[in-house]
Structure 1
Amino acid sequence: MQGMGEQGEACPFEFNFDPTTFKVGDMVSYRVSGGLDGFPFVGTLAEVHDDYVMIAPGDPTQPDAVYRATRESRPLVDETEIQ
């Protein structure tokens, strides 16, 4: 996200990168394994558990979609979670 706009332009999103403080409703930058590896995605934490999180990607074509991800600074979603 950084460096994608004009010089000095701030990222329009505020992410929580601290997994110890994750709470429902936090916006996170997450990754997807496999063919989408390396692309940044934005989602909202729908559930927070001790060792994983559930991320709502906010896709208007799939409003009920929720992906299981690792609980780390940039959660990782397994590509098999994506329909």
Structure 2
Amino acid sequence: MSDEKCPFEFNFDPASFKVGDTVSYRVPKLTGFPFAAQVKAVYDDYIEIVDAGEPGKIMRATRESRPVVNDEDALN
């Protein structure tokens, strides 16, 4: 085991999501592989996130501990 610390601090509490938080999100078609994104907007029943790999692409995600982005939004 390595003593390396994860470079991200994730927020897994959907009740406390706020703009600027880092979340671990999933894409169903990619079998739950985790991705990291930053929260850009918070709504009652969903959030909007941006993955650093595609900074101009805002994705809608579920508001749960590990948000889900639908396949079409994530892969197009």
What SS class does the counterpart of residue 12 from structure 1 fall into?
coil
Give 1:38 deviation, angstroms: 2.2
Letter of the structure 2 residue corresponding to residue 10 of structure 1: K
Equivalent-residue separation in structure 2 for 1:15 and 1:63 (angstroms): 18
Letter of the structure 2 residue corresponding to residue 51 of structure 1: D
Equivalent-residue separation in structure 2 for 1:21 and 1:15 (angstroms): 12
Q: What is aligned with 1:8? A: 3
Give 1:75 deviation, angstroms: 0.2
**Candidates 50, 70, 73, aligned match of 1:78:** 70
Task: Structure 1: state its 5+ residue gaps.
Answer: 1-5
Give 1:17 deviation, angstroms: 0.5
**1:47-66 mapped onto 2 (5 Å cutoff):** 47-59=41-53, 62-66=54-58
TM-score (norm 1): 0.83
What SS class does the counterpart of residue 52 from structure 2 fall into?
coil
What SS class does the counterpart of residue 15 from structure 2 fall into?
helix
Equivalent-residue separation in structure 2 for 1:43 and 1:37 (angstroms): 17
Percent identity of paired positions between Structure 1 and Structure 2: 53
Task: Structure 2: state its 5+ residue gaps.
Answer: none
Q: How many residues align?
A: 75
Equivalent-residue separation in structure 2 for 1:77 and 1:56 (angstroms): 11
